[in-house]
Structure 1
Amino acid sequence: MTKQVLFGMLMLMSFNLIDTYFIGLLGTDPLAAISFTFPVTFTIISLSIGLGIGTSAVIAKARGANLLEQAKDDGLGALILSFILVAVLAFLTYLFTNEIFTLLGAKSDLLPLIHEYMDIWYIGAVFLMSPMVGNAVLRASGDAKTPSIIMATSGLINAILDPLLIFGIGPFPELGIQGAAIASVIAWAFGFVIVIYILAVKRKLIWIRWIPITQFIAVSKRILKIGLPAAGANMLTPIAMAVLTAIIAVHGNAAVAGFGVGTRIESIASMVVLALSMTLPPFISQNFGAGQWDRVEQAYKSVIKFVLLWQLGVYLLLALAAGYIAMAFGKDDPVVMDVIKLFIWTLPLSYGFQGIIILSNSSLNALHRPMSALVLSVIRLFVFYVPFAYLGSVYFGLVGLFVGALIGNVFTAIIAYKWFLKALPQAAVVKAEG
């Protein structure tokens, strides 16, 4: 299961990194502008991730009970719900674009560049989010391969269109940073059409009709019961990143640009962990339902050991390649290159511990303890990660900021590991009583 998910994520994130590379060729300011957009775009994406988690849980339960008609209602209702919620959130953030990015620390000279990118991104947001929820419907039906292919194809389209629209190659206009946003929207629209076709026509996993409002409300309640805490936990990450970006903005646009590159590298470096966070929970949920607690504990501990070793290997590779990565993305700005190298030499050392946090979080959701997962996210980001990074920045500058964030990940990982193992007997008691 993980291999299938990993393929799509590898392709999609690689192309996102290519997107950052092309924007970096435009200069430090466009790269800084894109870096400022990450907390906002990921907040909206996090809403869809949470809705996808709720959708997958609800549909898998209905299909497991052989309630196939209800599963179709749930799938259609989930798509409509995600479309409405994402459209509302995107519109609200559009109305307050200047205020939001000024609060994040963006200077007035970057706001026009941010508008060029985000004004297009907001329009296409629904085309990104609907496929994410649609893919959750496919996974809940036992198909992990098709969503990976859709993700990979959309990423490939984005990567091909990027240089054409950014630099105006051939018959295409030179649109700069706006071209990157348009390329993304076109790629998302393709994914939207394909996933709807597969769900409604080819697989017949959703109805091709409007469901009654009372039925839609009932479906929404089922999805939001699980999806809202999961979305809340996911949305805390971009909020924390927004605070971190504002702290880094004090050090100038070049520092923000370098940090932005680092966060993209983080998505690639943590790819195996993220794939496991999608495939470990179904395994845990299945054994949770069967009362196989030894298998739950064994799977969790085995994955944790693997992740620690894997991420150590990833860190060593990144550390050796830091100079080359900085040259590729920093180009002629030595400050940007220095920040990229500093990021790579410090934060990735804690990605194994960050993996423990992510996998513990997803595993708590699998045990039907979404509020515990939410509390763990709050502790990680606002008790350790951001406060330690801030204190490090105050006393030791950027070096202290990255080291503080590293220490925050280590402390939270210890708590997360002990918390999950403590939750196992509690979950067993609840299930027995139920």
Structure 2
Amino acid sequence: MSNASRAPNLLEGNIHSTLKTMTIPVVYGMILLMTFGLVDTFFVSLLGTEQLAAISFTFPVTFTVISLNIGLGIGTSATIARLMGAGDKSTAHGVGTGALILSFIMASVLAIIGFISIEPIFTLLGASEAEMPYIKDYMLVWYGAGIFLSLPMVGNAVLRANGDTKTPSMIMALGGAINAILDPILIFGWGPIPAMGIQGAALATLIAWAIGSGQIIHLLAFKRKLIMPRMLSFSELREYSRNILKIGVPAAGANMLTPIANGVMTAIVAGYGSAAVASWGVGGRIESIASIMILALSMTLPPFISQNYGASKINRVKDAYVICLKFVLFWQFAVFLVMWFLAPFIAQIFAQEKEVVNLIQLFLMIVPIGYGLQGIIILTNSSFNAMHKPMSALLLSVIRLFVFFVPISWLGSLLFELKGMFWMGVLANFLTATVAFLWFRKLLNEEMDSISSNDTGISDTAS
């Protein structure tokens, strides 16, 4: 089967149908992946509240590594998709090769830094002496897993840039399935395999993504031929990495702001005790499931935008952006209603202690109100990157997290404790979503005026 038959035509097809065709496979894959992530949290919760709190403390740090790969994936996808829109496939293949090599190098460097700084970082985040041994056990293995995670994440961005969203979903789902199967075996032991506790959860992740790394490299280099089946010279790597880094570094920086902000929020929550941290961590995992449509569209909308931007079809960019925003607002409001109704039942699945159950329930009945607004922010941010405006995306992230979300949420915690923090977080999302929408609409109007002026100039010259 050819690549063309696998992927929809992003430049000519019906916008609604094309986005639907691209997004549905991503949703299926992410549902499986996120479900397996919740399974991971469930098994760790059986070890006790301290272990659950420990893994909750790791989220800001592990997401920093993940954010680096997300940023490189964004730069890779935007660069390759624009080249494909302009018809330059040869350079696109070189860019894909450079992206994989670059991601492996950068993830390795970040892992080394992480190894030697575990205790000071988590002490800064507010981890207690009782929680620190569990954190060390987990992170010493997880940093190794983070290196292998880089290759599937960036490799999947190469596939999505070519319009194929089904295969990346299958790769994500397979990795999640392997992780979920290995979790209970490695955490609690089975036969000759000893019980490793929280470290077993990290080892399961490492094995799953090591398998995924081999799979994605074989697929891209030999089956699809979307990258070069060889290492690049230093000069080639520098040349092909230039445009990736131009978008990827600000995008990675923007994504790394999220775990930094989450680290600050975790430190604030830690002031209310281990039960509060445990509930915050569970709420974050559930939020990933609840926001799955947003995350899926943030992967499928950018390649569509980049290819059409490369072909100067700005009207299609504008229509796709508006369609996605309207859908996300409607969808996430429906998700909020479901979560509000099921909050007591969900909370009891992930906790045994009454205090933790009550706090998880409080989270689920307030925070999801703002998920639709958060969707506008995330999709606008990814659209800025797709339009090759990475500094705008970075600035939007700074405004979202450090002008609105962290200060306003902190103020809410001072005034009304955790309940106030949750409600003020919703207000922060509303303010940021308004800024994001008006800003991107202004950019689109400027691009349309520029194309119109160029067309007028050409017509005048021809006459």
- Residue 142 of structure 1: how far off its partner (Å): 2.8
Partner of residue 145, structure 2: 124
Q: Which residue of 2 aligns with 1:206?
A: 227
Amino acid in the other structure paired with 2:126:
G
Q: Structure 1: which 5+ residue stretches go unaligned?
A: none
Structure 2, unmatched stretches of 5+, are 1-21, 455-463
| Matching of residues 13-412 of structure 1 within 5 Å | 13-331=34-352, 333-412=353-432
Shift of 1:291: 4.3
Q: TM-score, normalised by structure 1?
A: 0.96
Pairwise CA RMSD = 1.6
Q: Deviations over 1:304-346 (max 9, x none)?
A: 2211111111011111111111111012x11111110111011
* CA–CA separation in structure 1 for the residues paired with 2:423 and 2:221: 49
Q: Deviations over 1:405-425 (max 9, x none)?
A: 111111111111111111112
Measure, in 2, the Cα distance between the counterparts of 1:230 and 1:401. Answer: 27
Please tell me the residue identity of whatever aligns with 2:309: F
CA shift in 2, pair 1:429/1:94, >3 Å: farther
Q: CA 1:285–1:137 in 2, change beyond 3 Å: closer, same or farther?
A: closer
Residues 77/299 of structure 1: CA separation in 2 closer, same or farther (3 Å cut): closer
- 1:12 maps onto 2:43 in alignment: no
* Closer/same/farther in 2, CA of residues 232 and 295 from structure 1, 3 Å limit: same
**In structure 1, how many angstroms separate the alpha carbons of the residues matched to 2:446 and 2:392?**
12
In structure 2, distance between residues paired with 1:81 and 1:322 = 42
CA gap 1:188/1:433 in 2 versus in 1, 3 angstroms? farther
Does the CA contact (< 8 Å) of 2:160 and 2:299 recur in 1? Answer: no
Cα offset, 1:259, TM superposition: 0.3
Does structure 1 residue 414 correspond to structure 2 residue 440?
no
For the 8 Å contact 1:291–1:428, the answer to whether it is kept is no
Report if aligned partners of 2:75, 2:385 keep a CA contact under 8 Å in 1: no
User: Tell me, what secondary structure is at the counterpart of 1:205?
Assistant: coil
**How far is 1:70 from its partner?**
2.9
Any idea what SS the aligned residue of 1:89 has?
helix
Deviates more, 1:250-259 or 1:412-421: 412-421
Seq. identity, %: 57
Q: What do the CA deviations read for 1:257-310 (whole angstroms, capped 9, x no partner)? A: 000000000000000011111112233334434544444333322222211111
Cα distance 1:299–1:394, how it changes in 2: closer, same or farther (>3 A)?
A: same
C-alpha deviations, 1:119-176, integer Å up to 9, x for none?
A: 0001121111111111111222332111111110110010111011111133321111
Shift of 1:246: 0.5
Matched letter for residue 391 of structure 1: L
In structure 2, relative to structure 1, the CA distance for the partners of 1:213 and 1:432 (3 Å cut) is farther
**CA deviation string 1:34-70 (max 9, x = no partner):** 0000000001101101101111222234444444443
In the alignment, structure 1 residue 426 sits paired with structure 2 residue 446: yes
Judged with a 3 Å threshold, the aligned counterparts in structure 2 of structure 1 residues 417 and 186 are, in CA distance, closer, same or farther, namely same
Q: Decide which moves more: 252-261 or 132-141.
A: 132-141
| TM-score, structure 2 as length reference | 0.90
Structure 1 CA distance for aligned equivalents of residues 296 and 320 of structure 2:
15
